[in-house]
Every structure is written in C-alpha cells, then in structure tokens.
Amino acid sequence: MSGNSQNAPMAGPTASPIKSQVSRLIQFRSTVSQPVFAAFLAGGVAGAVSRTVVSPLERLKILFQIQSVGREEYKMSVGKGLAKMWRDEGWRGFMRGNGTN
C-alpha cells in the first residue's frame, strides 16, 4: 500500500448534479402523465379554483343570513353587497373563510 491518496477513486455519485436533476424531471413528467394521477391533479386544481372564485359569494350569503331583525347593514343587492365588502375589507374580506373546509 502506498501513501499516495491523490490517485484514489472518489467516493460518492459520479453523475453531475445537472444530470441528476434532468433524471428527476423525466421521472416526474412520466409520473404526472399517468392518466389517474393527471385526473387527480386536474380535479384538485379545478376544486381549488372554483372554491376561490365562489368564495366572495359564499361569504356574502352568510352575511345576508346572519342579519338580525333591525340591522340594515347588508340589506341590499348582491352587487352592492360585494362592493360594500370590497370597500370595507378589501381582498381579505373576499377570501375570509376560504380555507376553513
């Protein structure tokens, strides 16, 4: 045995990090392109988008429902109610309660 450690082979993977990333990307694309996985992913995205789009209307519906007798704060049309929500609370008011279920 010689004491020369410069010529010893390196331990660990010999592939470059770019080749490894490309390999993982190819594996990810083949997994995502499977019909069951693609349908599951598309359904999840569609559900999230529809929930976010309808969220302001759902919140306005709840505000209409909880009005007690004598309160006139949200006794108005849907368009005026949405405008009031936007003026009073902004974007956060539209999305309030969106993540609860």
pLDDT average, residue stretch 40-49: 92
What pLDDT band is residue 28 in, cutting at 50, 70 and 90?
confident
Cα separations in angstroms, 92 against 31, 56, 68, 85 = 36, 10, 24, 10
pLDDT at 45 (0 to 100): 94
Contact between 74 and 81 under an 8 Å Cβ cutoff? The reply is yes
Residues 58-100: pLDDT tens digits? Answer: 888 888 888 766 677 767 888 888 898 899 988 888 888 777 6
This prediction's pTM: 0.55
Q: In the chain, what percentage of residues exceed pLDDT 90?
A: 8
Find the mean pLDDT for residues 7-23.
68
